[in-house]
């Protein structure tokens, strides 16, 4: 088929590469300009460079609803359009131009986790699985009929990087398989259950702040959802910000005040967590490794000279050990 491709960053590039390798003709690519956000710098395998390497005409837009874009899509005489990691809304007068409509690929098990950073949010929320959905685009964001969906389980050993690698590997195959289904004449795709839908906003620095009154597992999930190369989860020791690079949960209950450093364990330190930590029924959060604002990385036991200090969500004058 003739496929107009909208894509950005690593997800977009891998999707378009798979479409080309499957033998489809791509007469036009539309991509975003390079961005300044941390996430856009992390996974920026360039779609524009792919277009240049393959001598495919490319348009660069933040928003793609202008007359030049519409004219170029119509002139491409595409059978279908494929969208992967396009960051702004596409209006009906754009996505409905190809005769078979537009297929969008999203790294979540829709209808849940529409929007941004779905893997990070899903891991923070302790979901048992994550995945990728290929769906037909309609007027609502990430809400069209589902063509194909594939999943992978989440274990306690997984970080967001593990989930990224596994779901990224799904993007090309699910797109090609969905195109095959559409080319075969299938149109009886499953509508999304809007009662189960959720939409998430972009993550920012504020979303990575550790609140020690959260249940310990929520803190553990936040840390592993923001491991390198993502911006890390962080808290404060007095006025100094500490980025937590690795953490786990203790097997035993740790009682006390949320945020208090209780005991050393190996190369780490155990912190009491949970609004009900005083009851002594929660596991502790074992911090293994930290990074300071000057770039130094340390085992937690080497950074904290004494037990009894407090970690907080916001900077404050350092507490004395009690």
pLDDT, tens only, 87-135 = 898 999 999 999 999 999 999 999 999 999 999 999 999 999 999 999 9
pLDDT at 303 over 90: yes
Q: DSSP state, 254? A: -
8 A C-beta contact, residue 31 and residue 12: yes
Residues 174 and 110: their CA atoms lie apart, in Å, by 14
At 253, is the pLDDT very low, low, confident or very high (cuts 50, 70, 90)?
very high
Mean local confidence (pLDDT), 296-301: 98
Percentage of the chain lying above the pLDDT 70 cut: 97
Q: DSSP state, 190? A: B
pLDDT, residue 141, reads 86
> Strands 233-237 and 240-253: what pairing?
antiparallel
Mean local confidence (pLDDT), 5-27: 97
Q: What is the pLDDT of residues 19-44, one digit of tens each?
A: 999 999 999 999 999 877 666 667 88
Exposure string of 280-311, with b = 16+ CB inside 10 Å and e = fewer, is eebbbbbbbbbbeeeeeeebbbebbeeeebbb
pLDDT at 321 over 60: no
Closest CA relative to residue 168, chosen from 36, 18, 35, 29: 18
Interacting residues of 150 by C-beta distance below 8 A, sequence separation 6+: 131, 132, 170, 174
pLDDT at 320 over 70: no
Taken in order of first residue, the domains within the chain and their CATH numbers are 3-200 (3.40.50.170), 205-303 (3.10.25.10)
Distances (CA, A) of 11 to 133, 165, 168, 181, 286: 13, 11, 7, 21, 34
Mean local confidence (pLDDT), 256-260: 98
Residue 195 φ/ψ, nearest 5 degrees: -70, -20
Q: What is the pLDDT of residues 179-219, one digit of tens each?
A: 999 999 988 999 999 999 999 999 999 999 999 999 999 99
pLDDT, residue 39, reads 65
pLDDT at 240 over 50: yes
Mean local confidence (pLDDT), 244-258: 98
Mean local confidence (pLDDT), 48-74: 96
Beta bridge partners of residue 148, listed in sequence order: 134
187 CB-side CA count, 13 A = 4
- Classified as helix, coil or strand, 146 is strand
């Amino acid at each position: 088929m003739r496929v107009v491709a909208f894509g950005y960053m690593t997800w977009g590039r891998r999707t378009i590469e798979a479409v080309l390798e499957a033998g489809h003709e791509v007469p036009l690519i539309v991509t975003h300009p390079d961005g300044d956000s941390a996430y856009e710098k992390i996974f920026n395998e360039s779609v524009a460079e792919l277009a240049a390497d393959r001598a495919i005409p490319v348009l660069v837009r933040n928003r793609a609803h202008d007359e030049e874009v519409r004219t170029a899509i119509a002139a491409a005489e595409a059978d279908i359009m494929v969208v992967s990691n396009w960051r702004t809304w596409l209006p009906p007068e754009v996505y409905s131009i190809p005769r078979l409509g537009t297929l969008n690929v999203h790294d979540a098990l829709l209808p849940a986790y529409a929007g941004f950073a779905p893997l990070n949010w899903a891991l923070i929320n302790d979901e048992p699985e994550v995945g990728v959905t290929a769906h037909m685009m309609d007027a609502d964001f990430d809400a069209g009929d589902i063509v194909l969906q594939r999943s992978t389980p989440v274990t306690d050993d997984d970080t967001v990087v593990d989930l990224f690698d596994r779901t990224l590997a799904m993007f090309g195959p699910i797109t090609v398989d969905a195109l095959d289904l559409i080319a075969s004449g299938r149109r009886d795709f499953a509508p999304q259950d809007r009662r189960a839908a959720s939409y998430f906003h972009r993550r920012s620095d504020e979303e990575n702040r550790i609140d020690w009154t959260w249940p310990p597992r929520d803190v553990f999930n936040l840390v592993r959802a923001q491991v390198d190369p993502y911006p890390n989860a962080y808290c404060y020791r007095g006025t100094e910000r500490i980025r937590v690079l690795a953490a786990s949960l203790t097997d035993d209950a740790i009682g006390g005040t949320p945020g208090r450093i209780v005991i050393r364990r190996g190369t780490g330190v155990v912190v009491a967590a949970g609004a009900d930590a005083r009851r002594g029924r929660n596991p502790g959060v074992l911090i293994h490794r930290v990074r300071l604002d000057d770039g130094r990385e340390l085992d937690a036991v080497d950074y904290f000279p004494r037990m009894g200090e407090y970690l907080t969500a916001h900077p404050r004058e350092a507490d004395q050990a009690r």
